[in-house]
Structure formats: structure tokens, C-alpha cells
Amino acid sequence: PTIFREDYAPFAWLVPTTRLEFVLGLENTRVTATLDVERNPDADPSPTIRLNGDGLKLISLECDGGECEGHMMDGDDLVVTLPGEKHTLTIVTELDPGANSQLMGLYASNGMLCTQCEAEGFRRITFFPDRPDVLSTYTVRIDAPEDQFPILLANGNRTGSGKSEDRMHWSVWHDPWPKPSYLFALVAGDLVARKDSFTTMGGKEVDLAIWVRDGDLQRTEHAMESLKRSMEWDEKVFGREYDLDVFNIVAVSDFNMGAMENKGLNVFNTKYVLADADTATDGDFDAVEGVIAHEYFHNWSGNRVTCRDWFQLSLKEGFTVLRDQLFSQDMGSAPVKRIEDVRILRSVQFPEDSGPLAHPIRPDSYREISNFYTATVYNKGAEIIRMMRSMAGETRFREGTDLYFDRHDGEAATCEDFVKAMEDGAGLDLAQFRLWYSQAGTPKVSVTTSLEGSTAIVDLSQEIPATPGQDEKQPMPIPLRIALFDRETGTHRGEELIVLDKGKVRFTFDGFDTEPVLSINRGFTAPVGIERDIARADLAFLAAKDDDPFARYEALQDLVTGHLVEAVGGGLSDSTRDEARRAIADALEAILADEALDDQMRGELLILPSQTYLAEQMLVADPGRIFEEREGLKAWLGKALASNFDALYERAAAAPGGREAEAVGARKVKTLALSYIAAADPDRAETLATRQYDAADTMTDRQGALMVLSGLEGLARTDRLAAFYERYRDNPLALDKWFAIQASSLHPNVVEQVKALAEHPDFTLRNPNRVRSLYMAFAGTAQGFHASSGEGYRMIADLILALDPINPQTAARFVPPLGRWQRMEPNRAALMKEQLERIAAAPKLSRDTYEQVTRSLG
Ligand code: ARG
Ligand code: ZN
């Protein structure tokens, strides 16, 4: 059944307190839940209470210590008749965590037990009103065999512990903050901790602990430092202080997503906790810092103020993504972080927004909420709040967020509540801006410029494409930071923020003798596509001169994108192609020589637009042609600038190591230089990469070298792949990289290789990280996934069908790549659609996969 946002009604009952008792066993866990319930004065009264369940085995049920007046099962839910104002329900259920391969609810991972309850996993533990607007105060007692589960953790503070008979022991945890069931967590296992402490601005000392398996302790230092920096930053920038005596983080190797913000007990995918130079790349270090911050920031944006219903998911996720992005901007290079975030938005969210799965950041309906943990809800959601921040300025934005936290502390709120707090606190008028919450699709802004007398004219218009269920769109306010450059001096008179709030608007600027060059959407103030009518020479000018680092990056991207889109379209004469390539080479040469740039920024400027972003710029995409032209350009640039890339490589290879920004930057440009050299001169690249691999003292260098080698033929490739495997065969996260590097390689036989890797003894469908490392990497490639034979599509469909009965949530995540079929050239479109139809025809599909496949078929 489909659930609609409009159908929201408050729950008829309140659950002021919840007591849970767990007697843990890997194959058999008994849960006794005691709920105090009372009628909700603010809801329509009901003679029954509906307690959600999902595959639960009910052992017993009592009302007020005796038999209930009536109860029945309605599907998986338990409906109990309650005649009075207040009752106590006691429910006993029995679970088999070892058999829980969905990784939702209570499950086993490497001999430990842990939970994942967001969004609807709590109903797999006990019968409960499993909806985010039912807040309750939890006390949890855990009993378990001590040798098997020496560490017992739950939300909040530990209030007691002891030993009992038969080598059992127990702990009691109390969380004083009322919370929805999705924030419940429990962990039991043989774990060790890195411990530290943090003193809050109010002088409260908080015990911090990061719990991992024995051998992983030395890889937790970076996570702990990141946590302390996050706590300090949230006090300083958002005025948010932590509110319990303890903050625990646990790393788990089997996990569907990145991490989870359970109150006082965050549970993480190991990928976002463990990092040292030998096993993690520089990118992994940044991801750990960002996700640690993200989950910590949820303590206020998510936990203290939670969501009324799941349609409001972006209330906590969009806001928290923005908060973690701003944090990372402050911890490292702000412009580089901004470019990275925009790159993710454009290569993941833009395609989502233009395909069959497009939805507004606040969706109107769903069948399975897990399918809406999307780049749209998260990343576009963050951009929409960032626009409010740009319009209000930092100081007024802070007044808005202060009011929001103040007004809604302890509540389950809505996106509308957030917008209202921004209006009242930040002094913005957001009447029309609310459309950003309800309209899907990436707006296209068209720009033309001209000069009349001494007046510079900028004409802007917007168009929002139709998306499923939304044919007609209304114009939205689009804030654009701009500057007008003087061609002679290379300077401008200052930036301003203009807001395009109608279909078409003309902006005029006086006092220009010559037509200025427009720099627009500086800092990417609005998540839109810009179509500008601009000469190649002017793009080259901005790529060299723009003082906004994002705008400079953008000019270069436009220069490359413009050429590649034209080239893929066909009919380019050799001389026109060469002329365009020459212009790009000149721009890159200037960037290579520009001493004012740091290497991290230089690296960003050297990254060519992604295959998916390029496909996005075309009405009908031919992945094979895009691949050819993009690789062709890369090879051409590698040849034209051979000595420059050699020099860059040599310089970077000689730079000192370590984790300082300069060292990280040097590794980044070294990897990029090597990839250009590889495109132009595979033999030379083989020599360099082999040498780099053998001398590497970081995972960044090792992975960079292996990526290049894995695209080549020959002994160096096989030898180094085997060496990597031997070195890391006992380290799951590093082994994931071994799978991913091969699955995304430029090797001509990549399809066959992925088939062989799926049979490798270290491959398993039971571990989501392993599945993603092999198949997500593959699903992004032109030469593998989009192989013209259709074999890549068939492999992904086979994977979905095999994984669906085991782990539907992760299986459904592989549908969107096939869902791009409507935008592909006819041959591939038919092959992709055929696979979607094959999946749709399978018996007993999960709700997750069924919803994604039917939406994708349109
Ligand atoms: N709230 C988590 C985060 O973004 C995501 C958890 C979602 N989990 C799931 N199984 N859908 O930090
Ligand atoms: Zn989140």
C-alpha cells in the first residue's frame, strides 16, 4: 500500500515510558517490553492501540498484569483493545538475530549483536507504535553470557550492572531524553574501546568511547579527534552543547548505510570509523571526519528535535548534511570542499532529479521509506537550507536556527516548522521559497548578457522540467551570487546576490564602457543548471582570472563540458576538435603553472567532468561515445602536456609525506598526473605506477598506482594485484578496495573480471560493503555496466534478484542505475528496460525492490 503525506494524523496514544529487557543469544533472544500508555488528548480517541510488528514471534501479551480485553493480528501488526485512560502492556517476543540478513532490527555481525532501527526496524524487535512522533523515555536491561558478550551497551547512561548465575551478567541503561523508537540502540559483544573525554562549554565532562574489535584499536585515533572537533565546532558555530554523561560509538562491519545517530550510542559502518595511513586513503580520512560529525550533529538536528513523520526526513537529514559540510569546510580547504560537494550533487542528485525516481525533498507518497534515503533528500535538502543561509547571511541564519532549536526542542517537527522559524528568526520572507520543498526537478537557468550604452544587461529565465506526477511547475526564487569582470583589468567591483524569482527577470548595471564578463552562481549558491551564452574565450578568461574558486572551477568545467557534448553529438571536423582541445590544454597549462594555487585546488581543476554528469547534459546519451570522447580528450591532453604532467608528477613524488594539507595535496595531483600519463603513454605509466606501488607508504599512493595498473595488460598488473591481495587478505575494508579497483578499471575485459570476482572465495552477498565494492563501482562504468552487449545490465539485474531475498534494502539501491534507461540511446534503453521487466516479473519481490522497479519502468 502507498502511504500519503496528506494522511498524517497524530497517534491516539502516548507512551510516556518504555522498559525493555533483553536476554541475549545469537540464535535466540527474548525481549520483554513493558509500555505505559495513555490516551493522547490531542488525537482522535480510539478503543484500540495499533502496535507495529514485522516478522515477530509473539510469546505472550498482558494488559495491566492480566489478560487483555481483546487483541488481534492485522497483518504483521498487533491491535489491542484498551478500554481505559491508562494501561500497562507487557509483551514478550522471541527473535533469531543470527538469521536476520536484512540488517534491520537486532542482528548478528561477526559474533556481536547490534541494532539498526531507522526507519522501521524497531518493529522487528518488539510490537510498538513504530513512528517518529511517539516519544518515550527508555530504560533497558540487558542479560547475556559474559564470555560471549563482555560489553553491553544501550542508549543514555549506565545505571547499574552485575553478575548473575550461569556465567551471565547484566547492565541497565537509562536514557533521560524522550525519543522515538528509531533512535533506540543496543550493542553486545567482545569489544575494546579507545576512551577520551570532552568538557562542554557548560563545564560538563563527557566520557567518550569508540568501540571496535580487538585488532582495530590503533585505527580509531582519527575518528576520536574528529569527534572532539565536532563537539567543539557545534558549540561555537551553532551554540549546541552535548547533553549526556557518555557518548559511545560502535563500529560494525555489516551495515546497510554509513552510520546511525542513536541517542548517545552511534552505530557506524567500520568504513567510517577505522582509518590509518596503511589502510585508508586521504579521501577515506575525510569521509570518516565528515560522517563522525554528521552523526554527532544529529544529536540536536534529529534527536532533540526529531521528525513528525518520514515525509519530513529532510528536516533532519538536509540540515545535518549542511552542518557537516560547513564543519568540513572549516576543518580543511573551504573551496575544495565546496567543489567536492557540488560534484557529488551533480553526478548523483541531478540524474535522480531528471529520471523516473525524481521526488521533492519532502516527498508526497511512498511505499517503502528506505527508498527515500536519497541524494535528493540529503544533498539537495542541504542545498535548499544553504540557499536560506546565503539569503539571510550567517548571523541572521544563526538567529533562525537558534529559534528553531528553542521552539521545537523535545518535539517531533515538520519542514514547515523549520521554514517558519527561519522566517521569524532570520527575518526572511519564504512564502514562494517553500516551493523548493514541494517541486522536484533541477531548474535550468538561461543567461544572456549585453551592453546598451553604458548599461550592462543580464537577462535571466528559469524553467523547471516536468517530473513524475508534476507536469506544471511554478517559478521558484533562485539566489545567484554574481560579479561582473572587466576584461582589461581582470577585476570586478564587488559581488552581489540577485534573486531570480519569476520566469524571466532583467537585471541592469550602470557604468560600463565595455561589456563585462559575467561570473554567475559563484560558490554554487543555487542547485540549478546554468545555460550561458558565452564565448569560449570568456570561459577561458574566467578559468584563469575568476577570484571565486568555485566559479573558476566552473568555467573550466563548462569549457570541457561544452566541447565534449559537441564532440559526442558528432560531425566535428578534426580541425575544430583540435582547436577546442587546444583551448582546454592552454587553460590546464595555466593551472599547472599557477603558483598561487595549492595542490588540493589544483587537483580539483584537473578532474574532468564525470561520465554521468556529461550524460546528464544530453537529451539522449550514448555512454560508449561519451567514454570515447572523454578518454580521447584525456589522452590528447596527456600528450600535449606530457612534460608538464611529468614535471608535476616528479615534484609531487618528491614531496614530504604525512597528513598535512600540503602532503595530501601532493598525493592528489600525483594520482591525477599519473592518470593523464596513463591515457597518453601506457608504457611509461606502467613503469611509474609499478615504482609508485612498490615504494608506497600510504594507501592513497598504493591505490592510485593500482588503479592505473588494473587498466593495463601484463605482468605488472597481475603481480601487483596479487601482492595487494596478499597484504590485505585479512583486512575487510582494504580488501573492498581490491574488489572496487578491478570492478571500475578501464581494462577491456572488465565484464569477465567482475564475473570471476563474484566467484572469489572472499566475495559474499551477506556483507553490504563487499557487495557495493564490487557492484556499485561497476554500475558506474561506461565500459562495464554500459557494455553494448547488455551483459553489464544483466549482471546487475542478476545481482538484484539474488540479493533481494537476503537484503532488500541494499538490493533496491542497485535499481536506479538501470532506471536511467529513458535517457539512453535506443539500443541500450531497450536492453536496460528488458532487465527491469525481468526483475518486475520475478515472484515475491520485496516491497523495496518492487517500488523502485515499478517507478523506474514509469
Ligand atoms: N540517519 C542515518 C544518517 O543519515 C541513516 C540511517 C538510515 N538507515 C536506513 N536503514 N535506512 O545518518
Ligand atoms: Zn543523517
pLDDT over threshold 90, residue 218: yes
**Res. 158 pLDDT band, cuts 50 70 90:** very high
Q: Is 370 in the pocket of ligand 1 (CB under 6 A)?
A: yes
For the chain, how many helices (H) and strands (E)?
Answer: 29, 30
- pLDDT tens digits, 398-429: 999 999 999 999 999 999 999 999 999 999 99
Ligand 1: atom nearest CA of 257 is 8
Ligand 1: atom nearest CA of 294 is 12
Enter the ipTM.
Answer: 0.97
pLDDT over threshold 90, residue 504: yes
**What pLDDT score was predicted for residue 282?**
98
Tell me the best of 118, 122, 291, 319 to mutate to test the pocket of ligand 1, counting ligand atoms within 8 Å of each CB and taking the most.
Answer: 118
CB-CB contact of 714 with 708 (8 Å): no
Q: Residue 759: count other Cβ atoms within 10 Å of its Cβ.
A: 7
pLDDT over threshold 90, residue 780: no
Residue nearest to atom 5 of ligand 1 (CA): 260
**What pLDDT score was predicted for residue 755?**
98
Q: What mean pLDDT comes out for the span 223-236?
A: 99
- pLDDT tens digits, 246-282: 999 999 999 999 999 999 999 999 999 999 999 999 9
Q: How far is the CA of 224 from the centre of ligand 2 (A)?
A: 19
Q: What are phi and psi of 589, to 5 degrees?
A: -60, -40
**What pLDDT score was predicted for residue 650?**
98
- pLDDT tens digits, 564-573: 999 999 989 9
pLDDT over threshold 90, residue 836: yes
In whole angstroms, give the CA distance from residue 491 to residue 231: 40
pLDDT over threshold 90, residue 613: yes
- pLDDT tens digits, 518-528: 999 999 999 99
Ligand 1: atom nearest CA of 809 is 10
CB neighbour burial string for 160-184, b if at least 16 within 10 angstroms, e if fewer: eeeeeeeeebbbbbbbebbbbbbbb
In whole angstroms, give the CA distance from residue 141 to residue 535: 69
pLDDT over threshold 90, residue 707: yes
Residue nearest to atom 11 of ligand 1 (CA): 370
pLDDT over threshold 90, residue 439: yes
**119: preceding bond cis by omega (within 30 degrees):** yes
Q: How far is the CA of 325 from the centre of ligand 2 (A)?
A: 12
Q: How far is the CA of 324 from the centre of ligand 1 (A)?
A: 15
How does the average pLDDT of the chain come out, rounded?
98
CB-CB contact of 438 with 362 (8 Å): yes
Percent above pLDDT 90 for the chain: 99
pLDDT over threshold 90, residue 163: yes
Give the ligand with the smallest distance to the CA of 269: 1
Crossing angle between the packed helical segments 313-331 and 381-392, to the nearest 10 degrees: 70
- pLDDT tens digits, 763-777: 999 999 999 999 999
Percent above pLDDT 70 for the chain: 100
**What pLDDT score was predicted for residue 533?**
87
Q: How far is the CA of 186 from the centre of ligand 2 (A)?
A: 19
Q: How far is the CA of 322 from the centre of ligand 2 (A)?
A: 10
**Res. 497 pLDDT band, cuts 50 70 90:** very high
Positions annotated as catalytic residues are 295
Q: How far is the CA of 702 from the centre of ligand 2 (A)?
A: 31
User: Is residue 272 classed as helix, strand or coil in its secondary structure?
Assistant: helix
CA nearest to 802, candidates 793, 794, 811, 789: 811
**Res. 448 pLDDT band, cuts 50 70 90:** very high
- pLDDT tens digits, 647-659: 999 999 999 999 9
- pLDDT tens digits, 188-213: 999 999 999 999 999 999 999 999 99
**pTM for the whole thing?**
0.99
pLDDT over threshold 90, residue 288: yes
Write down how long the chain is.
Answer: 858
Q: Is 317 in the pocket of ligand 1 (CB under 6 A)?
A: yes
pLDDT over threshold 90, residue 580: yes
Residue nearest to atom 1 of ligand 1 (CA): 260
In whole angstroms, give the CA distance from residue 318 to residue 11: 26
Residue nearest to atom 2 of ligand 1 (CA): 260
Q: Residue 746: count other Cβ atoms within 10 Å of its Cβ.
A: 19
Tell me the best of 100, 256, 261, 373 to mutate to test the pocket of ligand 1, counting ligand atoms within 8 Å of each CB and taking the most.
Answer: 373
Q: Is 260 in the pocket of ligand 1 (CB under 6 A)?
A: yes
Tell me the best of 179, 260, 269, 322 to mutate to test the pocket of ligand 1, counting ligand atoms within 8 Å of each CB and taking the most.
Answer: 260
Q: What mean pLDDT comes out for the span 233-243?
A: 99
